Amino acid sequence: MAAPMDEGKCRQLLRDVHNGLVEIGEDIHTVRGSYEYSHYLCDGLDDRGWGCGYRTLQSLCSWVRHQMVLSDKTPADVPSIPKIQEALVTMEDKPSSFKGSCEWIGSFEVCLCLDNFYDVPCKIIHISSGSELPNHLDEIIEHINTYGSPIMMGGESDSSSKGVVGACTSPAALLIVDPHYVGPTVSKEELQANGWVQWKTMDHFMHHTFYNLCLPRLVLGSKT
């Protein structure tokens, strides 16, 4: 694993990078509450080519933290990639060699980590092919409207993990936050203009590969 920069070189993360994006159609549903946009190298650690799942997890963790803080709770900080790897080894999901490696994580590991760091359970939706994504759009919308949280989306051939922060029924589309951005801190408008945050209709997703979705189900005011 590439060594991180010193803390002075870590960047200020942008918040709610989907806000202000031009609407794609009608019947749009987006997440409630704030999150920070984590992406490649955002904390100085060079995770290009393998860290997208960790970065999406960090964005989800930031959403959970904001919700808990608003409810006068004191949640753990958003975990670094080394802390995520250490936790997965401690949980015996990964061997000790996983620590310090460049191995990716997917929706199942994200589920384990949200439960471990924040006691937040998740639902996993397995979709056998991208062509079946439209059949799960109502379930995705129900989750957003019920829990308000972003969703982690991972795939097989489409192995680029990404965040889902909204859904639309007409046309059928998902609002994607892509953690693969590399570069200096820019505005959310620039991220949107360059496609790092965009609406993707269902034909953008690979039809010959499966997808797994991790849906955090944070319920404040009761045991989660």
122 has catalytic annotation: no
Q: pTM (2 decimals)? A: 0.92
- Written as one string, the DSSP assignment of 122-186 is EEEEEESSGGGGGGGHHHHHHHHHHH---EEEEESSS---EEEEEEEEETEEEEEE-TT--SS--
List per-residue pLDDT tens for the chain, 224 residues long. 544 433 334 568 999 999 999 999 989 999 999 999 999 999 999 999 999 999 999 999 999 999 999 999 999 999 999 999 999 999 999 999 999 999 999 999 999 999 999 999 999 999 988 889 999 999 999 999 999 999 999 887 666 899 999 999 999 999 999 999 998 889 999 999 999 999 999 998 878 888 999 999 998 864 43
Count other Cβ atoms within 10 Å, centred on residue 18. 22
pLDDT at 130: 83
Residue 52 annotated in active site: yes
Gyration radius of the chain over CA positions: 17
Q: Is 190 helix (H, G, I), strand (E, B) or coil?
A: helix
| Catalytic pick among 66, 136, 180, 204 | 180
Of 16, 43, 47, 178, which one is the catalytic site residue? 178
111 counts as catalytic: no
Angle 52-70/81-90 helices, nearest 10 degrees? 90
Task: State the catalytic residue, choosing from 42, 52, 113, 122.
Answer: 52
Confidence (pLDDT) at 157: 64
Which of 59, 63, 117 minimizes the C-alpha distance to 85? 117
Q: Which domains does the chain have, with CATH numbers?
A: 14-216 (3.90.70.130)
Query: In sequence order, what are the residues at sequence separation of 6 or more whose Cβ sits closer than 8 angstroms to the Cβ of residue 135?
Result: none
